[in-house]
């Protein structure tokens, strides 16, 4: 019985991931410090959210539907993502020590960070940055 429940839960998570992951998969991925500098810090317009994540991180995966929802609710905000395992230099230079970490940037200036899977704090950070 337990194995069936576990399998059913796994299949449900795959379906949910496809359903919610579609807009998340369209988020531009930053892969190096130079891209971060050019697209985030040198770009002096608007609010940007950078999602520092790891593919193996459960809380990171749990945030995907929340990020997709925030993308729809705040279309003026630009979202980016950084796989910390593929862009270690970028994660190191931004002092990322836990995943997920969300960095909020307004007009090229880092305004705040939200550490951990906290959808409410992330949305509040977006509201305060606008």
Our answer to whether residue 57 is catalytic in this structure is: yes
- Residue that has been written with the tokens 């002096």 in this structure: 44
Residues 6+ apart with CB under 8 A from 69: none
* Active-site residue identified among 47, 49, 54, 60: 60
- Other beta carbons within 10 Å of 8: 10
Catalytic annotation, pick one of 57, 71, 77, 110? 57
**Rounded to whole angstroms, how far apart are CA atoms 56 and 34?**
25
Q: What is the distance between the terminal CA atoms of the chain, rounded to a whole angstrom?
A: 50
Catalytic residues: 57, 60
């Amino acid at each position: 019985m337990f194995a069936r429940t576990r399998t059913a839960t796994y299949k449900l998570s795959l379906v949910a991931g496809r359903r919610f992951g579609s807009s998340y998969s369209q988020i531009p991925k930053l892969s190096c410090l130079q891209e971060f500098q050019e697209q985030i810090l040198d770009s002096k317009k608007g609010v940007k959210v950078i999602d520092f994540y790891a593919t193996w991180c459960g809380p990171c995966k749990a945030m995907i539907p929340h990020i997709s929802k925030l993308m729809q609710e705040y279309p003026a905000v630009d979202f980016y993502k950084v796989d910390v395992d593929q862009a270690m230099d970028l994660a190191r230079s931004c002092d990322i020590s836990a995943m997920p970490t969300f960095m909020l940037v307004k007009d090229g200036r880092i305004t705040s960070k939200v550490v951990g899977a906290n959808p409410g704090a992330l949305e509040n950070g977006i509201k305060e940055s606008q």
